[in-house]
Amino acid sequence: MVAATAHGFSASAGPSRAEALARLERLARFLDTAIAIPGTRIRFGADTMVGLVPGVGDAITTLASAYLIYEAHRLGVPKHLLARMIGNVAFDALIGAVPVLGDVADVFWRANTRNIRLLREHLARN
């Protein structure tokens, strides 16, 4: 049996924080910046592409973003930081709901990249 820590995990309970962070960074990159527009500095990802599908597109990408927040919770992120992360995703979902304009805004908001930055900064301090 694995001993629990203050956040519910021990070192032997699963991947290390560094491995978990690397996995979540790959997910955020896939969702927000995986594709570059040649000749520009503009990047977008699956969040923008899937968000183009009316109705279900934004729901699917919001679920992927929610998974990132769930994993941040498992890594011991405090409630105030989780609230900020949820706010980033909520804003992304809200602007994404506006046809076309929301998809353009999605390219620049990058809620998942923002949330990974918050997570990385928290883990570096703790």
pLDDT at 3: 40
Low-confidence stretches of the chain (pLDDT beneath 50): 1-12
Residue 14: predicted pLDDT: 58
State residue 1's pLDDT score.
38
Asked if the structure places residue 26 within a domain, the reply is yes
Total number of domains constituting the chain: 1
Contacts 24+ apart (CB under 8 A), 2-9: 6/76, 7/74, 7/75, 7/76, 8/74, 9/74
Residue 3 included in any domain: no
pLDDT of residue 31: 95
Is 2 part of a structural domain of the chain? no
Residue 7 lies in a domain: no
Determine, yes or no, domain membership for 100.
yes
H or E element, residue 36: strand 35-36
> What tens digit of pLDDT does each residue of 1-14 get?
344 444 444 444 55
pLDDT at site 9: 41
The verdict on residue 58 lying in a domain is yes
Find the domain containing 110 and state its range: 15-125
In a domain, 4, yes or no: no
